[in-house]
């Protein structure tokens, strides 16, 4: 094998063994861009070697997506493949694992009719809800990784010839995921131990809120009642220990949907459903975004937070040191999987039930009363930088320095 093929195989093995931890007899459902075929084939090989009973892959074609916006009738944009997403949900209920491979063109739909785009995204979000609930509820072992594709690579390295951009992006992916280390599985075990130490400290403190301060930022972010911090690998409800994001540098928990007040701004671009959104500025009152603007992709962000009532509220808050390996690479990936692990971030939309103590055994009404958010969407956007300070507000109201200039102060 060439050096690239060796690293690709190491990445595929890491995905199956550490990311998904496929079990004997378990089915695997994969979604991926067409350009990820070489990686998918290696993942499929390793999944079967690990004992998977069936691997099924659904590929996305950017050209077909553009064809819809160019030629489909207007009413088509209120349609989504509910039959497909219902089938995915049924597969998860039956025990299948889920792997998503990112790599889409970050600005594929730039310049398309924002009304059609909003309607299509809303229809898809509604149809996908049965599957999304099983994922956010950690019902199954699942994982998200990425594959370098020509369109994505060109957006990250616009000044390079295509083949050089793809090669450089692959090398960055291998480095950030530890796939290029002599023993990637052992490296991830060590990394998970460090993330567990962070979450252990945060769970001992029982902060009632986080206070953010920095340029353009003055925010009090309340945390959900009986919240739990998570980070790194964890055991899903089917009993399988998995790592849902490769890479990951975050520790995260659930905000209180009604207790967020103040101003916040993004520090990296957000790629969402074919739109690149940058320079986001928002003001929260009573947990809800009441004012917003964006330097780029403002219509796309406005349509996102107007998806439903919960889309304008927060469902996740995550802390990432500014010196994380992804940030230290100096690369803006234009891909949330990587950029969210280069900076502290928040997510509008659905909360994860795993971030509420005993959340999987609570009713939706109970979760809502504790501050968990409900929405058809869950979209992360980056707010961390080397200029951001974060204090943890203890139960007695006193403040504890948590992050200073983007780095852990604990």
Convert the pLDDT of each residue in 139-184 to its tens digit: 999 999 999 999 999 999 999 999 999 999 999 999 999 999 999 9
Q: Which two tokens stand for residue 403?
A: 């992050």
Same domain? For 137 and 224 the reply is no
Q: What is the pLDDT of residues 6-36, one digit of tens each?
A: 999 999 999 999 999 999 999 999 999 999 9
Same domain? For 313 and 262 the reply is yes
Same domain? For 220 and 161 the reply is no
Same domain? For 262 and 354 the reply is yes
CA distance 56 to 48: 12
Report how far Cα 202 is from the mean position of its chain's Cα atoms.
21
Same domain? For 163 and 216 the reply is no
Judge whether 333 and 156 are in contact, CB under 8 Å.
yes
Rounded mean pLDDT, 359-366? 94
For residue 119, give Cα distances in angstroms to 9, 76, 273, 276, 292.
39, 9, 12, 17, 20
Query: Does residue 199 sit within a domain?
Result: no
Grade residue 337 by pLDDT with cuts at 50, 70 and 90: very high
How many Cα atoms sit within 13 Å of 224 on the Cβ side? 31
Same domain? For 154 and 11 the reply is yes
Q: Which two tokens stand for residue 354?
A: 């795993």
Grade residue 273 by pLDDT with cuts at 50, 70 and 90: confident
Q: Is the pLDDT of residue 304 over 90?
A: yes
Judge whether 268 and 382 are in contact, CB under 8 Å.
yes
Grade residue 286 by pLDDT with cuts at 50, 70 and 90: very high
For residue 136, give Cα distances in angstroms to 147, 173, 252, 308.
23, 25, 13, 17
Please give the pLDDT value at position 410.
86
CA distance 271 to 155: 11
CA distance 343 to 36: 26
Percentage of the residues of the chain whose pLDDT score is greater than 70:
100
CA distance 387 to 375: 31
Task: Report the predicted TM-score, pTM, of the whole model to 2 decimal places.
Answer: 0.90
DSSP 210-267: EEEEETTEEEEEEEPTTB--EES-EE-TTS-EE-SBSS---EEEPEEEEEEEEEEE-S
Query: Does residue 364 sit within a domain?
Result: yes
Query: Does residue 61 sit within a domain?
Result: yes
Q: Is the pLDDT of residue 394 over 90?
A: yes
Total domain count for the chain? 2
Same domain? For 116 and 214 the reply is no
Q: Is the pLDDT of residue 85 over 90?
A: yes
Q: For the chain, what is the mean pLDDT?
A: 96
Query: How many other CB atoms are found less than 10 A from the CB of residue 216?
Result: 12
Query: Does residue 20 sit within a domain?
Result: yes
Please give the pLDDT value at position 274.
86
| Exposed/middle/buried for residue 64 (C-beta within 10 Å: 0-12, 13-18, 19+) | exposed
Query: Does residue 183 sit within a domain?
Result: no
The two beta strands, 54-60 and 27-33, are parallel
Q: What is the pLDDT of residues 342-360, one digit of tens each?
A: 999 999 999 999 999 999 8
Query: Does residue 54 sit within a domain?
Result: yes
Same domain? For 295 and 397 the reply is yes
Grade residue 325 by pLDDT with cuts at 50, 70 and 90: very high
Q: What is the pLDDT of residues 212-266, one digit of tens each?
A: 999 999 999 999 999 999 999 999 999 999 999 999 999 999 999 999 999 999 9
Query: Does residue 215 sit within a domain?
Result: yes
Grade residue 50 by pLDDT with cuts at 50, 70 and 90: very high
Same domain? For 345 and 209 the reply is yes
Judge whether 48 and 118 are in contact, CB under 8 Å.
no
Same domain? For 264 and 125 the reply is no
Same domain? For 14 and 138 the reply is yes
Query: Does residue 240 sit within a domain?
Result: no
Same domain? For 156 and 286 the reply is no
Query: How many other CB atoms are found less than 10 A from the CB of residue 49?
Result: 12
Judge whether 43 and 9 are in contact, CB under 8 Å.
no
Q: Identify the domain containing residue 225 by its residue range.
A: 205-229+248-408
CATH code of the domain covering residue 30: 3.40.1830.10
Q: What is the pLDDT of residues 93-120, one digit of tens each?
A: 999 999 999 999 999 998 899 999 999 9
Angle at 338 between CA 337 and CA 340, to 5 degrees: 75
Q: Is the pLDDT of residue 296 over 90?
A: yes
């Amino acid at each position: 094998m060439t050096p690239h093929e060796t690293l690709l195989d190491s990445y595929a093995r890491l995905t199956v063994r550490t990311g998904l931890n496929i079990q004997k007899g378990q089915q695997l459902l994969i979604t991926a861009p067409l350009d990820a075929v070489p990686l998918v084939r290696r993942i499929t090989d390793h999944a079967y070697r690990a004992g998977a009973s069936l691997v099924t892959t659904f590929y996305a074609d950017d050209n077909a997506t553009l064809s819809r916006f160019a030629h489909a009738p207007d009413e088509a944009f209120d349609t989504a493949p509910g039959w497909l997403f219902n089938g995915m949900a049924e597969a998860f209920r039956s025990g299948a694992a889920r792997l998503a491979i990112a790599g889409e063109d970050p600005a594929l739909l730039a310049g398309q009719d924002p009304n059609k785009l909003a309607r299509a995204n809303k229809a898809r979000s509604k149809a996908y809800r049965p599957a999304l609930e099983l994922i956010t509820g950690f019902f199954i072992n699942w994982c998200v990784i990425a594959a370098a594709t020509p369109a994505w690579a060109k957006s990250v390295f616009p000044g390079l010839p295509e083949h050089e951009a793809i090669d450089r992006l692959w090398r960055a992916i291998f480095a950030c995921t530890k796939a290029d280390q002599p023993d990637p599985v052992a490296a991830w075990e060590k990394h998970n131990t460090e993330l567990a130490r962070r979450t252990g400290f945060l769970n001992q403190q029982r902060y009632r809120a986080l206070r953010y301060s920095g340029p353009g930022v003055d925010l009090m972010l309340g945390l959900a009642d009986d919240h739990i911090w998570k980070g790194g690998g964890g055991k899903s409800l089917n009993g399988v220990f998995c790592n849902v994001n490769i890479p990951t540098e975050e520790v995260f928990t659930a905000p209180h949907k009604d207790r967020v007040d103040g101003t916040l701004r993004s520090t990296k671009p957000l790629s969402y459903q074919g739109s690149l959104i940058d320079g986001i500025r928002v003001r929260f009152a009573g947990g809800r975004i009441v004012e917003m603007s964006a330097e780029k992709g403002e219509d796309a962000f406005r349509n996102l937070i107007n998806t439903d009532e919960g889309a304008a509220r927060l469902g996740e808050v995550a802390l990432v040191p500014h010196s994380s390996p992804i940030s230290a690479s100096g690369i803006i990936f234009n891909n949330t999987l990587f950029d969210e692990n280069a900076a502290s971030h928040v997510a509008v939309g659905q909360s994860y039930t795993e971030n509420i103590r005993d959340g999987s055994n609570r009713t939706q009404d109970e979760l809502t009363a504790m501050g968990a958010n409900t929405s058809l969407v869950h979209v992360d956007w980056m707010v961390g930088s080397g200029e951001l300070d974060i204090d943890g507000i203890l139960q007695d109201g006193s403040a504890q320095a948590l992050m200073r200039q983007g780095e852990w102060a604990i």
